[in-house]
Structure 1
Amino acid sequence: MLKLASFSAWLLLTAFCPPLLAAENTMPLALHKAAAADDVAAIKTLIAEGAEIDARDGTGATALLVATHGNRLEAARALIAAGADVNARDGISDSPYLYAGARGHLDILKLTLAHGADLASTNRYGGTALIPAAERGHVETVETLIAAGVDVDHVNRLGWTALLEAVLLGDGGPRHVRIVERLISAGADVDLADHDGVAPLRHARSRGYRDIAALLEKAGAK
């Protein structure tokens, strides 16, 4: 009889309160949609109505990470102001901080740095935010991360530092020349070799990156 009574109560609840139940089930998705659309008004309304700010979607992403994916600055600002976790990771170990750094989303990156970004956190390759930023030629992002105190000589699971990635995966052009210059100025070890024992200078020479090689030689690289 008790089970029957409980079931009857559940039927009454679902019959008379469907809007409430539907809202509870869709709030996380709604918050993610609002973040993707950079809809600050909707974000504030959903949070005020009780939406869980760090709820995850099917990929493990929070609404803040969704906003970061799309470089939705105002959405990110509203979510961070409401307490969103800038270090919350998705299923492939991306966090808002790490993703903003890797993609050069500078304004969002600065917000994460001002709200507790874990500078020592690493991506799925074991690299800090500085390493992919250097690889992809995001000069201002590299400067920002160096100024924030990210380890310039961190080695990822591939055996590469930010300096090595700037040489190995960069194009040798002006942006990567500037990044190499910034890394050297920040004290990067110019002789720190990869897993095969090949140092940045040798990689630069083998690729014909004369300007980068000249910077490394001036810094005493061997």
Structure 2
Amino acid sequence: MDDLDRRLLDAARSGAAADVRAALDAGASVEARDEKLRSPLLLASLNDHVEAAQVLVAAGADPNAQDHRRDSAWLVTGVTGSVAMMRALLPAGPDVTVRNRYGGVSVIPASERGHVAYVRAVLKETDIDVNHVNDLGWTALLEAVILGHGGTAHQEIIEVLLAAGARTDLADQDGVTALEHAESRGFRAMAELLRAAA
């Protein structure tokens, strides 16, 4: 890796937008990779450096470029729940069907982690598949119940997912539905929402 690319990667990681621009102007590759195959845009996304990401997007950075763990700048927004970063990446035309190492799309980890604002925004502002099934056999709805805590954030996510057309009849690999998982965990409010939508 040459010094210019290293400068760009370091600037993206730290969020120094002016330094990102300077490195690009000096000839650094917008698709430079570090030792873990992370691009400057992925590093900016991981650390929620929106301004740096905007500079990279304007320079043509690829939001779908994946690292050694199959993370991409776009996929990471579902993990961090950053709506601002999600919107910063939209002009780059992210492929919302790109899958992470679990075979999931960004709305799935966002639903698991209770990122209500992100789930609402990504479903409204993109054509992401609310019923995408990952390699574990789970949809966003199933993850919100199975890996969530049953609290108000996850209840709200259930409401948002259902309003966006999430199917309650899609069961996991053992044939257990989101409603059955909610009932077995004692998530009463969640179960009521799912029962009403069934």
1:22-54 deviations in whole A, cap 9, x for unaligned? xx8211111011112211221111111100011
Q: Which residue pairs with 1:184 in the alignment?
A: 162
Residue identity matched to 1:71:
D
* Residue 152 of structure 1 pairs with residue 130 of structure 2: yes
Identity of aligned residues (%): 46
Residue 130 of structure 1: which of 104, 107, 120 is its match?
107
List 4+ stretches of structure 1 deviating above 3 A.
none
Residue identity matched to 1:86:
P
* Superposition pairs of residues 158-169 of structure 1, within 5 angstroms: 158-169=136-147
User: Relative CO higher for 1 or 2, CA cutoff 8 Å, sep ≥ 6?
Assistant: 2
* Superposition pairs of residues 105-124 of structure 1, within 5 angstroms: 105-124=82-101
Q: Which residue pairs with 1:17 in the alignment?
A: none
The Cα of 1:170 is off from its aligned counterpart by: 0.3
| Counterpart-to-counterpart distance in 2, 1:204 and 1:114 | 38
Equivalent residue pairs, number: 197
The Cα of 1:74 is off from its aligned counterpart by: 1.1
1:118-160 deviations in whole A, cap 9, x for unaligned? 0111101000101000000001111112111111111000010
| Counterpart-to-counterpart distance in 2, 1:145 and 1:25 | 37
CA RMSD of superposed structures (Å): 1.0
- 2:2 alignment partner, SS class: helix
| Counterpart-to-counterpart distance in 1, 2:140 and 2:62 | 26
* Superposition pairs of residues 9-88 of structure 1, within 5 angstroms: 25-88=2-65
Length-normalised TM-score, structure 2:
0.97
Task: For structure 2, list consecutive stretches of 5 or more residues without a partner in the other structure.
Answer: none
Task: For structure 1, list consecutive stretches of 5 or more residues without a partner in the other structure.
Answer: 1-23
Length-normalised TM-score, structure 1:
0.86
